[in-house]
Amino acid sequence: MSLSIGIVGLPNVGKSTLFNALLKRQAALAANYPFATIEPNTGIVDVPDPRLNILAQFVRNDYGNKAGDRQIPEKIIPAVVQFYDIAGLVKGASQGEGLGNEFLGHIRGVDAIVQVVRDFTDENVIRAGATNPEEDVQTINTELILADLQSLEKKIPILEKELKTAKDPDSQRKLQVITKVRETLNRGELALSLNLEKEDEILIKDLNLLTLKPMIIVLNTDESKLSTQDTQNITILG
């Protein structure tokens, strides 16, 4: 079973460029205008692991001595990651702006998120919305938070109604966890920051919360900025 990762960000921050770099081929259109990507581009990348060859050789040698009727493995299949290059998000996406709910729906289908933020200074590339990396992150996180809050506000009344007729311990615990997550989101923090217990994550898995997905921030910057002095400031994005 492969891991799926969605590449997200504002328009024109370099999402498709990163996607192409990961696939080592021109698989997605990287254009200087918003929403060059509508439907997600998808691609599968092998995960390099030199241990596989060592293990395969060990198995072949062992089977060569004791194989009998057993089948000797002839093919090495590495783990893979499936990447999704998702259309650019804009402020108000949770309310339907841009590709709105369609965009957010694509994110819900992945296991983890790579958030690309812009820090390069090419004036020929149109800047959509934010004016600096911090605003990029804030805009994207805000839309993810608002989308999750909408999901929770729909779920809470349903659970409360269920608990009036049947005192199910799992439903009671689920309501407690959801309430805790809602309080966190209302503070402008991602649900991921709660570090929920595994059992609690399983209880609310059906909600498929965007802010509960593991997230990596990729800073798309100028090569001239890649000095120790400049990279010290990157930590504020996390």
Confidence label for 119 from pLDDT (cuts 50, 70 and 90): confident
Structural contact between residues 62 and 54, judged by C-beta atoms closer than 8 angstroms: no
Residue 22: CB atoms within 10 A of its CB come to: 17
Confidence label for 192 from pLDDT (cuts 50, 70 and 90): very high
Confidence label for 28 from pLDDT (cuts 50, 70 and 90): low
pLDDT of residue 102: 67
pLDDT of residue 237: 56
Confidence label for 32 from pLDDT (cuts 50, 70 and 90): very low
User: Does pLDDT of 175 surpass 60?
Assistant: yes
pLDDT of residue 206: 92
Structural contact between residues 1 and 115, judged by C-beta atoms closer than 8 angstroms: no
DSSP for 44-69? EEE---THHHHHHHHHHHHHHHH-TT
Among the listed residues 121, 123, 148, 145, the one whose alpha carbon sits nearest the alpha carbon of residue 133: 121
Confidence label for 18 from pLDDT (cuts 50, 70 and 90): very high
Residue position matching structure tokens 């998120």: 113
CATH topology of domain 3-237: DNA polymerase; domain 1 (1.10.150)
Mean pLDDT of the residues in the chain: 81
Predicted confidence (pLDDT) per residue in 53-90, tens digit: 888 777 767 655 555 545 556 778 888 999 999 877 76
Q: What is the pTM of this model?
A: 0.79
Give the whole-angstrom CA distance, residue 45 versus residue 33.
27
Structural contact between residues 7 and 111, judged by C-beta atoms closer than 8 angstroms: no
Beta bridge partners of 177: none
